[in-house]
Amino acid sequence: MGALVGLGVGVGLMLIWSAFFLPRRSRSAGRGPGWPARLLARAGIGGVSPTSFVLLCAGLGVAVALVILVVSGTPPVAVVFGLLGGYLPVAVVAGRARRRQREFAEVWPEAVDNLASAVRAGMSLPEALAGLAVRGPEPLRGAFEQFALDYQVTGRFSDCLDRLKEALADPVGDRVVEGLRIAREVGGGELGRLLRNLSSYLRDDARTRSELEARQAWAVNGARLAVAAPWLVLLTMSFQSQVIQRYSSPTGVLILAVGAAVCVGAYRAMVHLGRLPSERRILA
């Protein structure tokens, strides 16, 4: 009797544990990569470990804070510049990701034209994609060279396309890859026309986006200068110990906190109001 009671209690505890913990674990397993991994992939440096990137940000922030603390002797000011120093690698990588996406947007029409020509010449889709490693635009050759090697080793077209999407980490690349996947699976006889239409659309979209970005560049640069100016003045004041020591008081800390909040809020509002519609990655 005691064994049955113990078995029942054990089964009940196991069911309670599975109800609370197993769903959480399955949800976390289904989540995609974190924002550092996505940012590094969009910048084309997916080989860098997200942990190493986070440690770099933290280390740089601590180093900048220590230097400012030695120079100014004011802990609140050192903390502010430490946060700015920790954000610097994120800003650099994000800028590289934006430049890479603009560069891809400029060369994708040429790549799609090459695909359409290869398909019209009677080449298979894997051969046409592998050919972009040689005939394609320079920024895309590395990803398609990796695809060609991957397909030569495995021969699995769908899996190779998935890895190509990961290497490109580009919304336009996702659209092209998924179109090729569907054409391969259902036997699209209109693949050539689809690719020509896609090339024309990509050219029009890139032309319109470049014109809009050129018109708003002065506003974005002006906003960045306006946000950076107060902190450059504060950095200059850090070399005057008698002046910067005033920020060690509670009032000085409050001024720094309010100023930082206003700068961040104003900059984020400017970016939100002036940003252009951006494509999202599909089935990534």
Residues 6+ apart with CB under 8 A from 95: none
CA 149/CA 83 separation, integer angstroms: 43
Q: Is the pLDDT of residue 9 over 50?
A: no
Q: What is the pLDDT of residues 86-114, one digit of tens each?
A: 999 999 999 898 888 888 888 888 888 88
> For position 52, what pLDDT does the model report?
92
Structure tokens at 234: 């504060």
Model confidence band, residue 221 (pLDDT cutoffs 50, 70, 90)? confident
Model confidence band, residue 15 (pLDDT cutoffs 50, 70, 90)? very low
CA 65/CA 46 separation, integer angstroms: 29
What is the value of pTM for the model shown?
0.75
Q: Is the pLDDT of residue 14 over 60?
A: no
C-alpha distance from residue 271 to each of 73, 104, 252, 265 (Å): 34, 22, 28, 10
Structure tokens at 126: 């894997």
From 27-31, 46-50, 220-224, 242-246, the region with the lowest mean pLDDT: 27-31
Indicate the DSSP class of residue 189: T
Model confidence band, residue 278 (pLDDT cutoffs 50, 70, 90)? low
C-alpha distance from residue 45 to each of 34, 55, 266 (Å): 15, 16, 31
What percent of the chain is modeled with pLDDT above 70? 83
| Average of per-residue pLDDT across 206-235 | 82
| Average of per-residue pLDDT across 222-235 | 86
| Average of per-residue pLDDT across 146-161 | 89
